[in-house]
Amino acid sequence: MKGIQYNLIAEALGKKGQTAYWLSNILGVSNATALRWCANESQPPLPVLFEIAAALKVEPRSLLVSLKTVAQELPERYREIEELKKIYPKKRGKKKK
């Protein structure tokens, strides 16, 4: 079973003609770590995601999938949250002092 894809690092590397090995050398991490990020087996910390974006000269958000995409892959949890939002809409009004 394939896990949920959270990042698009492998796709961005491919578009720039680079490899996980190149990325590992640029960031000073092991090749295995870069490969795990590319395969979405693990995710880089947020500061590292920004370093990856800088190395590839792309916006950091272009390295992440949208919430809508992830939600389609998540099990019932996301749908349950959406149902609760419908039942308990956010109340707008005066703030209490």
Q: What is the pLDDT of residue 77?
A: 61
Q: Structural domain tally of the chain?
A: 1
Residue 26 belongs to a domain: yes
- Among candidate residues 71, 76, 61, the one with its CA nearest the CA of residue 4: 71
For residue 24, what are the domain limits?
Answer: 9-87
| pLDDT, tens digit (0-9, with 9 covering 90-100), for 30-66 | 999 999 999 999 999 999 999 999 999 999 999 999 8
3-state DSSP helix/strand/coil % of the chain, to nearest 5? 60, 0, 40
| pLDDT of 1 above 50 | no
pTM of the model as a whole: 0.72
Inside any domain, residue 25: yes
Q: Residue 65: inside a domain, yes or no?
A: yes
Helices (H) and strands (E) in the chain, counts: 6, 0
Reported for 40-48, long-range contacts at CB under 8 A and 24+ positions apart, including other chains, are 40/3, 40/4, 40/5, 40/6, 40/7, 41/3, 43/6, 43/7, 44/7, 44/9
Which CATH number belongs to the domain containing residue 27 in this structure?
Answer: 1.10.260.40
Whether 45 is in a domain gets the answer yes
Residue 15 lies in a domain: yes
In a domain, 83, yes or no: yes
77 occurs within a structural domain: yes
44 part of a folded domain: yes
* Of residues 72, 46, 39, the one with CA closest to residue 61: 46
